[in-house]
Amino acid sequence: MTKFHRRGARWNNNTLLLLLVFFIVGLFLHYGGKPQPVLRFWEDVKSIFTTSSSGNRDNPYRTPEPGQSGTATDSPARDEDNVATDTRKSQKPLPDFNESSEEESTSGTAPSGELARIIRQRDFVLPTVEGNDQVVRHTGYSLKYVERYEQAAWVAYELPGSQVKGDQERESSFYDDPSVKSGSAVHADYTRSGYDRGHLAPAADFKNNRVMMKESFYMSNISPQAPDFNRGIWSDLEQLVRVWAIRYRKVFVVTGPVLKPGLPTIGRLNKVAVPDQYYKVILTATPQGEVKGIAFLMRNEGSQQPLSSFVVPIDKVEQVTGIDFFPRLPDPIEDQVEAQSNPSDWYRLK
């Protein structure tokens, strides 16, 4: 090689290095000096060239990425919530709900008097909120985001029966939540982790509103769920709640993971805690002034047990989560409703 060629090679190498430096500096300037978006961009670029064999190295649950068969590849266009799969080999039918049309439900009128005034309050469905809680409000639901665990401690919303009967198509992507000031978990945190991006407020609860449907795919509404759990017993429970929303015209739902120190984590950019339990608390009020509630507490694993076997008093969920549900109810009603959950008050057991 001639001296001219050697100098040309060195010049080309230096030029490439300078271009790379200017590119990185430009990224930081573009994102206002914040490193997280730059790291996120790098992870997305790197994932294009990363083979699936390295993704599950430290993951004890070596199941494929949700929606895939035999390979652990990222699938951002796949919604793992309420997907009909064969993960439950002998899917049991749901209990006899005595399903009725909206016209045949409890009554055509709303509760009246003081109770009606209470449940019409904007924040009636919210648990007790402390001064330093990061509460995020979206169109269809509100949540309390806990940065330490990179997910919501609870998601709360009203669910009218009419809301589950729309024809809005499901979203095909997940989104970072711009309303979470500390920054939500990101899509890549779940990639090749072996866990589903499990909805807390399910997308199918917002079928009559395009904005609500899209917001249900914010990563703040997502929690790591075992595939057999998310697509099995948890999906069954979500379907059951929608049946109740139609029957009673409206139910109030608070749902989330049981968060506690020492949970295992997943995530490339964020340490997302993997809960070992999830809960769902449901309340409704009849025109006759009856208030009834029911709660479910279940492990983050597949199960063939009937949903009724996971029913617990609301007080039990408050005990394991430290969350005070429906604090705006008058104390006598709250104490009575939360002391017991009676499945037979909600559906006939077989």
- Where do the domains of the chain lie? 3-53, 102-345
Give me the mean pLDDT over the 36-47 stretch.
Answer: 49
What pLDDT digit, counting tens, does each position of 177-187 carry? 999 999 999 99
Distance between first and last Cα of the chain: 86
Q: 37-41, 181-185, 235-239: which has the minimum mean pLDDT?
A: 37-41
More confident residue, 107 or 24: 24
pLDDT of residue 179: 96
CATH topology of domain 102-345: Extracellular Endonuclease; Chain A (3.40.570)
pLDDT surpasses 60 at 4: no
Catalytic residue among 5, 138, 187, 199: 199
For this structure, is 199 an active site residue? yes
Give me the mean pLDDT over the 19-23 stretch.
Answer: 66
Give me 87's structure tokens: 């993960």
pLDDT of residue 109: 52
% of the chain surpassing 70 pLDDT: 67
- Three-state secondary-structure class, residue 91: coil
**Mean pLDDT of the residues in the chain:** 78
Any idea how long the chain is? 350
Give me 209's structure tokens: 């509103």
Give me 126's structure tokens: 């919210």
The dihedral over CA atoms of 225, 46, 262, 144, expressed in degrees to the nearest 10, equals -60
What pLDDT digit, counting tens, does each position of 246-289 carry? 999 999 999 999 999 999 999 989 999 999 999 999 999 877 77
pTM for the full predicted model: 0.72
